[in-house]
A and B are shown apart, each in its own frame.
Chain A
Amino acid sequence: MVTPQDNERLTRVGPGTPMGRLLRRYWQPACLSSELPERDGAPLRVRLLCEDLIAFRDSEGAVGLVDAFCPHRRAPLFFGRNEECGIRCVYHGWKFDHHGTCVDMPSEPAGTTLQAKVRLQAYPTAERGGVVWAYLGPKELMPPAPDYEWTRAPAKFSYVSKTFEHCNWLQALEGGLDTSHSSFAHNNFNSNKSEPRQRDRSPRIDVERTEYGYYYVSTRDLGDDGKYIRVYQYVMPAQQMRPNNVGWFGGANEMPRADGHIWVPVDDTHTHAYNWMCAFDENVQFTPEWIESRETAMGRGSNDLIPGTFVLKRNPSNDYLVDRQMQKTKNFTGIAGVNTQDFALQEGMGPICDRSKEFLGGSDKAVIAMRRLLLEALDANEKGATLRGVETNTHRAVRPYDHIVPPGVDWRPIFDRELQAKW
């Protein structure tokens, strides 16, 4: 349970809020690189941490991320002309480069001193792993660009997609750090009791803090078959890394890999989930067909999105097309798509979950630990102390892993080797 005051502190992300200031110390995904496919192409609307922005790829390939409104008379730069290394407002022709410097002011007399005085709010950007990242925090505290393992893997071995969620980021992140619910919400084969996650539905959770956040070990007891151990990573502020070495039925996964999400607050009540996968090594290659089948299973295949958007067709407006007959006979929720099941549960909590009314148990340990880290980080940030996960050397080598360990065997030596990034 969280007090209403702490719930506010944890969930509100606008400029000037405690969490808004903390999240602005980290690089955040602004959009997919594929959303800005060409130089001098159409600008893109971006809403990030409650700020309305415009992204554009300039003539040199650099990505500008600027205030959505021209500083002159607040006309929308979305309609602007992206040309010759800058964005030009179509109201009076003022033009700004991706640093926010005014490079032309044709509606004022030649030689005007105004041009040197006006600035467009502009944020530093970086492109890594198919994602455009932005830093919205204080200039003097800007860390190096993010360097997660999946951002370094070559294109054939990694993939990233994006989905829009109608709720606060924290309840989405909590779902991502909760292996326990997968025995229920993601139970898509009601009658199959041989799955490891059905054989033990109340895993033991152990959390270990690190300088990037924590890892947590979930242990499911499979009796004579040993222990099913999953090590998840929580990389602050809002990234989950989870392993898929073991398949759903206990055998080897056809594509041993790490999966993960970053939950990026659009504003207090909307979130973009960035969904990435990364092969464990070069023996595992993602084909487009396999990616599509995987994304479809998650509920976000190419036919699952409202065209031209990142919004699922199965969404709160149609109750995710819940099928009560299917729920009786085939799966636990009656909803198709693993992450669509998550959305139904997370969005269904309301725009911002009221955590003063919750009632937590032992399986929620990882969720509690994450909130505790965030609350501590809020204080650390106010005091000017070091924050976990900001420096790239804290998160560069991090990787998740899972394995079924035979009875009596210590999991640690096996895992120590495997929890190291290979890309």
Chain B
Amino acid sequence: MLTVEENQRVTRVGPGTPLGKLFRRYWWPVCLSKELPELDGAPIRVRLLAEDLVAYRDSENKIGLVDAWCPHRRAPLFFGRNEECGIRCVYHGWKFNRNGDCVDMPSEPAGTTLQAKAKLLAYPTAEKGGVVWAYMGPKELQPAEPDYEWTRAPESHRYVSKTFENCNYLQALEGGLDTSHSSYAHNNKLGDRANLRQHDKAPAIDVERTDYGYFYVSQRKADAGTYVRVYHYVMPAQQMRASIIGYEGVRNKPARLDGHIWVPVDDEHTHIFNIMCAPHPEDELTPEAVETREKAAGRGKDDHIPGTFRLKRNQSNDYLIDRQMQKTQNFTGIVGVNTQDFALQEGMGPICDRSKEFLGTSDKAIVGMRRLLLDAIAVNERGGTPRALDPETYRKVRAYDRVIPEGADWHKVMEKDLVALW
């Protein structure tokens, strides 16, 4: 349980809020690289940490990320002309480069001194792993660019997609650090006792803090020993989990490392960046394998409202829940693993009221994550260095899962599994 005040502190992300200030110390995903497919192409709208921005790929293939409104009379730059290394407002023709400098002010007399004074808010950007990243914090504190294993994996072994969620980021992140619910919400075959997560539905959870956040180990009893899953929480909002073996205990083809980053659009909306990475060089992520997996998660090609990152199965239609299916086939009556998550997370309301919850031992990882965030807010307010700013802290981090012999020490058995290869 959190107090009402604590809940405010860990959920509000706007400029000037405690969490907003903490989050602005990190690089954040802005959009997929493929949303800006061409030089001098159409700008896109971006809303990130409750700020309205516009992103565009300029003539030099660099990404500009700037205020959505022209500083002159607040006309929308979304309608701007992206040309010759800058974006030009279509109201009075003022033009700005990706650093926010005004490079043309044709509506003023030649030689005007105004041009040197007008600045457009602009944030530094980077492209890594098929994602455009931005840093929105104080200039002097800007850390090195993000360097997670999956951002280094070759394109043949990596895939990133994006989905829009209608609620605060934290209740979504919590779902991502909660292996326990997969025995229920993601039970897609009622009565299947062979399923590893059905065999033991109350996993033992151990959380260990690290300098990037924590890892947590869940252990479930299995016929062949112990089913061990090691998850990582990489601050501030990334989960890494493994899908080396499937629900049936057989090695997945291809084996995968999966993950999400929950990126606050604002206090009540979130973009999820869904990451897939093949951990072994011999396993490629073919387009077919990717589509099969995305479809199972509920975000295959046909699952989106065209032209958006929104699911067709959404809050407005109760996710097309099928009560007959719920009685006979799966636990929720909802199709798509992450669609099941959305139903639960969005259904908590725009911002979950954590002053009314009642936690158990299966929620250890969630409690641990909240504690880290609250601590980091305090550290940041004191001028200290929060975890996971330096890429050195997380560069080697990898998740894994395995069934190990009963009584074996997972630390020893899985030591090599947990080190990045890419």
Per-residue 0/1 for A83-117: is the Cβ within 8 Å of any B Cβ (1 yes, 0 no)? 10000011111000000000001111110101001
Q: Is A71 an interface position by the 8 A CB rule? A: yes
How many positions in chain A have a CB within 8 Å of any CB in the partner chain? 29
Whether B201 and A73, one on each chain, are in contact in the complex, defined by CB atoms closer than 8 angstroms, is no
Whether B174 and A73, one on each chain, are in contact in the complex, defined by CB atoms closer than 8 angstroms, is yes
Q: Is B270 an interface position by the 8 A CB rule? A: no
> Known interface pairs A41-B323, A107-B180. Does A69 touch B356 (Cβ–Cβ under 8 Å)?
yes
Whether B185 and A91, one on each chain, are in contact in the complex, defined by CB atoms closer than 8 angstroms, is yes
Chain A residues closer than 8 Å to B349, beta-carbon distance: 69, 74
Per-residue 0/1 for B322-344: is the Cβ within 8 Å of any A Cβ (1 yes, 0 no)? 01001100011110000010011
Interchain CB contact (< 8 A) of A108 among B326, B334, B360: B360
Per-residue 0/1 for B177-209: is the Cβ within 8 Å of any A Cβ (1 yes, 0 no)? 000110111000000000000000110000000
Chain A residues closer than 8 Å to B308, beta-carbon distance: none
Chain B residues closer than 8 Å to A73, beta-carbon distance: 174, 348, 352, 357, 359, 363, 366
Q: Is A81 an interface position by the 8 A CB rule? A: yes
Chain A residues closer than 8 Å to B334, beta-carbon distance: 79
Q: How many A-B residue pairs have CB under 8 A?
A: 99
Which residue among A40, A89, A105, A108 has the maximum number of chain B CB atoms within 10 Å of its CB?
A: A108
A143 to B: closest C-beta gap in Å:
28
Whether B354 and A74, one on each chain, are in contact in the complex, defined by CB atoms closer than 8 angstroms, is yes
A residues 398-414 in Cβ contact with B at 8 Å: none
Q: Is A76 an interface position by the 8 A CB rule? A: yes
Q: Is B390 an interface position by the 8 A CB rule? A: no
> In terms of DSSP, what is the predominant structure of the interface of chain A?
loop
Q: Is A62 an interface position by the 8 A CB rule? A: no
Interchain CB contact (< 8 A) of B202 among A74, A75, A106: A106
Which residue among A71, A74, A89 has the maximum number of chain B CB atoms within 10 Å of its CB?
A: A74
Interchain CB contact (< 8 A) of B360 among A42, A76, A112: A112
Chain B residues closer than 8 Å to A117, beta-carbon distance: 358
Whether A69 and B348, one on each chain, are in contact in the complex, defined by CB atoms closer than 8 angstroms, is yes
A80 to B: closest C-beta gap in Å:
9
Interchain CB contact (< 8 A) of B181 among A83, A92, A110: A92
Whether A79 and B181, one on each chain, are in contact in the complex, defined by CB atoms closer than 8 angstroms, is no
B167 to A: closest C-beta gap in Å:
11
B411 to A: closest C-beta gap in Å:
23
Interchain CB contact (< 8 A) of B343 among A79, A81, A93: A79
A50 to B: closest C-beta gap in Å:
14
Q: Is A252 an interface position by the 8 A CB rule? A: no
A89 to B340, CA, bound (A): 12
7 additional A-B pairs beyond A74-B349, A76-B348, A93-B201, beta carbons within 8 Å, are A71-B357, A72-B360, A74-B348, A75-B345, A83-B327, A90-B332, A92-B362
A–B complex contacts, Cβ < 8 Å, 15 sampled: A72-B363, A73-B352, A73-B357, A73-B363, A74-B349, A74-B352, A75-B347, A76-B343, A76-B348, A78-B318, A78-B347, A79-B318, A90-B331, A90-B332, A105-B360
Interface pairs A-B: 4 shortest CB-CB: A76-B347, A93-B184, A75-B344, A90-B332
